[in-house]
Amino acid sequence: MAQDWDIAEPRADALIESLRAFGYSPEAAIADLVDNSVSAGAKRIAVDFAWSGANSRVTVSDDGGGMSENALVAAMRPGSTSPLEDRDASDLGRFGLGLKTASFSQARELTVVSKTEEGDATTRRWDLDTVAASGEWRLLRTAPAGAAVLQPPTTGGTTVTWSKLDRLVGDVGSDDAKAHRRFLDATARVQRHLEATFHRFLSGRGRLRISVNGQQIDSLDPFMVHHPATQQLDAEELPYKGSLIKVAPYVLPHRSKLDDEEMARGAGLQGWNQQQGFYVYRSGRLLVQGDWLGLGLSKDEHTKLARIAVEFPSSLDHAWQVDVKKSTARPPGELVEALRRIARATRSKAEEVYRHKGKVLARQNSQSFVFAWQEHKGRNGEIRYRVNRDHPVILAVRHALGTDKQVFERALRFIEETIPTSMIGVSIAHSVDNQLTAFGGSKREIRPLVDFAFRSYVRDGMTTSEALDRIAAAEPFSDYPEVIATLREELA
């Protein structure tokens, strides 16, 4: 009887090249290797970047439990573990792909040497050039020819070595200064990334120790929990499918309360504005840092001090749509409204920091208040309203128009003479409890006007401080002290 199925085995050379295209950055790739070391019970992990042009190498070595020969062969197999299988809560892996895809994303050669406490060291190596030439999944049993591959500790452990670094380095000479600088920059980014990604493992009793090129790295706490000016808001636990999602919101200190080192560490790799948002943890390991998780919230200057820790167990990976790189996650639909509520409350508290700062500066400002409109009484006692020609925005527009000032004046007079005062009076009487703020409270509309007026004042010879003081004392900018405070901070 003929079978009704075929074995559609993938081409080794084609698939292994495709596995290189998962989009890892060097720092995300190294973090994936560190995950394996942590899951193996390592207490010490050494990451080393050795420069030698096209012959440069990267090594990650740990003192974990190590692997037997059979276990190592299984670990080197792409898709060694199904993501549907139950894992230990402390296991930071998921797809059985990380070691391979992370390594192939940066290098064409991956060598792993592993040793258990009782057994001998075992070596296995993937060489993509060998796979391409043979068309077979040839997992080599030797280290690269002429290479001194670092051995794991005698008590057990694993060493992972990347060579043929075509993606990370390329075909360059050891004397290529620009390529060397890129290599050093990648090393620095990896260090900062590891400090944040594993910051919970790097602190406390029995903490994990990670070194990069021999230098032990520090824990980079994105919430500055030990700083006296950090606001820790009420934490919540959101029930979901028999588990509790822990949510802890923070508002970080204003820059005026931070020294230079604290400012630099708080900025992370991408700067303060990009670091705001949710920090998603899976079993203590940071997956996502600084993202509003598609909740319809933008990264505004006035909310950049808002950071929210969210933690879920590895059993909920599928629900949170964790990717192979463990660098993206999306909340389940049932949690969206609760997370949005917490985010909005945290953002509001973060805005208050700038609003308070702006009010303090406004109180220190001796400028007289400038209204946008002025009231005038006519000869017969009638009340008329005129646009204040000394308002910062009006002055800026007149300055920008140059020789067309007469046309602008005619436009203002037309507006003044056609104001429907009676209609406005009736409308206000009927909606006295629902008066709108200028521009509907939209900081996005206010900020361009502030910038416009500021540039005009500076062109006229005012200092930055003088220009901002003038603007802060004008209507409606006085209602948005946080916008002025943010601009003042940017220009400091």
Q: What letters, b where the CB count within 10 A reaches 16 and e where it falls short, cover 442-455?
A: ebeebbebbeebbe
Helix (H) or strand (E) holding 187: helix 177-197
Cα-based torsion angle of the residue sequence 37, 38, 44, 45 in order, rounded to the nearest 10 degrees: 40
Question: How far apart are the C-alpha atoms of 12 and 200, rounded to whole Å?
Answer: 39
Question: How far apart are the C-alpha atoms of 343 and 353, rounded to whole Å?
Answer: 16
The token pair at 190 is: 């990896």
Helix 392-401 with 443-459: angle, nearest 10 deg: 60
| Residue whose entry in the numeric block shows the structure tokens 């390592």 | 42
Question: How far apart are the C-alpha atoms of 375 and 369, rounded to whole Å?
Answer: 15
Does residue 26 contact residue 49 with C-beta atoms inside 8 Å?
Answer: no
DSSP 282-314: ETTEEEEEEE-TTSS----GGGTTEEEEEEE-G
Q: What is the pLDDT along the chain (492 residues), one digit of tens a residue?
A: 678 888 888 888 888 888 888 889 999 999 999 999 999 999 999 999 999 999 999 999 999 999 999 999 999 998 755 454 554 554 454 445 779 999 999 999 999 999 999 889 999 999 999 999 999 999 999 999 876 677 888 889 999 999 999 999 999 999 999 999 999 999 999 999 999 999 999 988 889 999 999 999 999 999 999 999 999 999 999 999 999 999 999 999 988 888 889 988 888 878 888 999 999 999 899 999 999 999 999 888 889 899 999 999 988 988 988 877 777 889 999 999 999 999 999 999 998 887 766 555 555 665 677 788 888 877 777 778 888 888 888 888 888 887 677 888 888 888 888 888 777 766 665 554 455 567 766 777 888 888 888 888 888 888 888 888 888 888 888 778 888 888 888 887
Does residue 280 contact residue 315 with C-beta atoms inside 8 Å?
Answer: no
Alpha carbon 466 to its chain centroid, in Å, reads 35
Q: Is the dihedral of CA 251, 257, 262, 265 positive or negative?
A: positive
Helix (H) or strand (E) holding 58: strand 57-62
Does residue 466 contact residue 365 with C-beta atoms inside 8 Å?
Answer: no
| Residue whose entry in the numeric block shows the structure tokens 């074995």 | 7
Domains of the chain: 12-216 (3.30.565.10), 231-351 (3.30.230), 373-421+438-491 (no CATH)
